[in-house]
Chain A
Amino acid sequence: MNYFLAIFDTISTLITGMSVTLSHMLKIRKGNVTLQYPVERWPRPERNIGFNEESYNVIRSRLTVDMDDCIGCLKCERACPVDCIKIETHKVEKGEDLADANHTGITSNGTPKRLLVTRFDIDMSECCYCNLCTYPCPEECIFMVGGPNSNRHEIDYEFSEYDRNDMVYRFSKVPPDILQNYVQKKEISEKAS
């Protein structure tokens, strides 16, 4: 008796299973979940959906620093768990103004800028995309941007690069020769005094 019950059981459960897959196959137009990637892209989560404060960006993608607002407080460097942000600052004498570096004046929040940020490197290949650096910044000048739907060149794959060194994003606006001149000038003036 168990013998025949086993046969009947087998046949009925197998047919149930087969009908599930057949129904999926016939409904492929509606049920398709493939996104044909370079041609179609996925909907990107809206930045600032309805948070009632200054919204944090919910994208986790590459980091960008708006150097005009950076005051060199080093809070983001301390917050990073993997130490991928490296910042170096110099105190500038009152009245000095290095060309092109835009290091005097006030930020868009009204904070006066006092430091010259000479090095602001973020190594994106070490970054763990945790977004912890964006929260402490008092000027909100570091944030994640880009993501799958930003404007890219046709054969660029999001932000991949060919060389590992290109993954280090250098944001500092001080050109190296001007920095060199400035440092030399400082050393001369220090020796003099």
Chain B
Amino acid sequence: MGININSQNLNNNSDEEMVLNIGPQHPSTHGVLRLKTITDGEIIKKITPYIGYLHRCFEKHCENLTYEQAIPFVDRCDYIGSMNNEFGYAIAVEKLMDIQVPEKVEYIRVIVAEMNRIASHLLAVGVFGLDVGAVTPFVYCFRDRERILDLFEMLCGARLLYNYIWIGGVSHDFPVGWVEKTYEFLDYFEPKIIETNDLLTYNKIFIERTADVGVIPPEVAISYGVTGPNLRGSGINWDLRKNEPYSIYDKFDFDIPIGMGAMGTVGDCWDRYYVRIRELEESLKIVRQALDQMPRDGDVYESMPKKIRPKSGHIYSRTESPRGDLGFYIESDGSAIPSRLKLRSPAFTALSCIDEISKGWMLADMLTILGSLDIVLGEIDR
């Protein structure tokens, strides 16, 4: 497992303090992240995250790629919720080029993005259970996630990195039989959320481990720029799909779950976890409504431009990815290659507040807090 363990006395404070280095490889699968923890044996005094182990120069690469070639690269930033990344990017470029996609394409995009949100939250929930020690819910969540990935494989051939949502449309239409299989999946999945609740959410040991731990007070969350389920777990009702609706989200009827402090303080780890579980149910609702409302005929290639050459200008557009508020800043100088493409990563801001919220907790809690923030290093480092 390769945990790098150093312990040395810190020279400026009392010699009770120790530096524990939770090295780039550690058993919880959040990616390669180094956390330098200063503790006094058990209680944490300060955490410094060191990132950059997964930096792949994504933004620099995009300065040499055309707009449609950048889509596989954008996929690989947040590799767990790829469709949402592509969605955000496509919306940004389409705004720059003033393209209006047909309604069928909008529905397809929403369905696929919400299914990917379900898959991403399943992974977050399962890995959080694994961090706390429960192995079985992890396997159950992955089993359900496999069903979603099988659906995606039937759709575009790839399980994790899709290259499906293109600028001006999608790469191809739903195959025959996909919609029926998706309905089957939705019916199969609803009882599974209840099973996860029985097994993990209301389990007393789990509640003991996560309630009141790692509280993010609402002011701290806003001042650090935390968004997504982490922000909603602290009780603030902000979701880009409702507050600044993009695409056709205003046609669907769904709620925004926020953390109420049901088992402890508002904004603790249990709240953030519970917001994700409730978001699974809400996404199911959205997918069902979209499948019902989607026009069955229509050409998905109608508005796809032959050459993607936006006029000069710049744009910043944001969408709601499973981790939070994903922003794209694109600057174009009129050619087929963007002159600057920047991705604002929600997990980056979530990781930045870990120092503040883990002061005073024990080492065993630190991994719980890290797991509840649901970070993906691919997005943080790009």
Residues on A facing B (Cβ under 8 Å)? 6, 9-10, 13-14, 16-17, 20-21, 33, 45, 49-51, 56-60, 79-81, 128-132, 135, 144
Contact = CB atoms under 8 A, between A and B. Distances in A.
Interface string B119-146: 0000000000000000010000001001
Nearest to A129: B158
Given A58-B156, A81-B70, A132-B68, A14 B172 contact: no
B72 A132 contact: yes
B170 to A, nearest CB: 12
Given A10-B204, A129-B158, A130-B163, A45 B69 contact: no
B198 interface: yes
B177 A45 contact: no
Contacts of B203: 13-14, 17
Contacts of B161: 128-130
B199 A50 contact: no
B176 interface: yes
B172 A21 contact: no
B202 A13 contact: yes
Contact of A45 (B154, B200, B204): B154
B204 A13 contact: yes
B147 to A, nearest CB: 9
Contacts of A132: 68-69, 72, 163
B204 A16 contact: no
Contacts of B68: 132
Nearest to B139: A33
B175 interface: yes
Contacts of B158: 60, 129
A172 B204 CA distance: 65
B220 interface: no
A144 B158 CA distance: 12
24 contacts: A6-B204, A13-B202, A14-B204, A14-B205, A16-B199, A17-B198, A17-B200, A17-B203, A21-B199, A33-B146, A45-B153, A49-B176, A49-B177, A50-B175, A51-B175, A58-B175, A59-B157, A60-B157, A79-B69, A81-B72, A128-B72, A129-B161, A132-B72, A135-B171
Interface of B: 65, 68-73, 136, 143, 146, 153-158, 161, 163, 171-173, 175-177, 195, 198-200, 202-205
B312 to A, nearest CB: 23
Contacts of A135: 171
A144 B156 CA distance: 13
Contact of B172 (A9, A45, A56, A79): A56
Contacts of A49: 154, 175-177
A81 B73 CA distance: 8
Nearest to B196: A20
A169 B351 CA distance: 43
B253 to A, nearest CB: 31
- Among B71, B72, B177, the one with the most A-chain Cβ atoms within 10 Å of its Cβ is B72
Given A56-B172, A132-B68, 13 more contacts: A14-B204, A16-B199, A17-B198, A17-B203, A20-B195, A49-B154, A49-B176, A50-B176, A60-B157, A81-B65, A128-B161, A129-B161, A132-B69
B311 to A, nearest CB: 23
Closest 8 CB pairs of A and B: A50-B176, A58-B157, A81-B69, A130-B72, A49-B175, A10-B204, A60-B157, A130-B163
Nearest to A144: B157
Contact of A9 (B71, B155, B204): B204
A176 B88 CA distance: 48
Contacts of A130: 71-72, 161, 163
A49 B172 CA distance: 11
A45 B156 CA distance: 9
Contact of A21 (B69, B136, B177, B204): B136
B92 to A, nearest CB: 18
B241 to A, nearest CB: 28
B313 to A, nearest CB: 24
Nearest to B62: A81
A4 B349 CA distance: 42
A27 B157 CA distance: 31
Contacts of B154: 45, 49, 58
A79 B69 CA distance: 7
A10 B176 CA distance: 49
A21 B173 CA distance: 40
B195 to A, nearest CB: 6
A51 B153 CA distance: 15
Nearest to A16: B198
A129 B156 CA distance: 12
Contacts of A21: 136, 199
Given A81-B73, A129-B158, A51 B204 contact: no
B149 to A, nearest CB: 11
Contacts of A144: 157
Contacts of A45: 153-154, 157
- Among A56, A81, A135, the one with the most B-chain Cβ atoms within 10 Å of its Cβ is A81
A51 B202 CA distance: 46
Contacts of B72: 81, 128, 130, 132
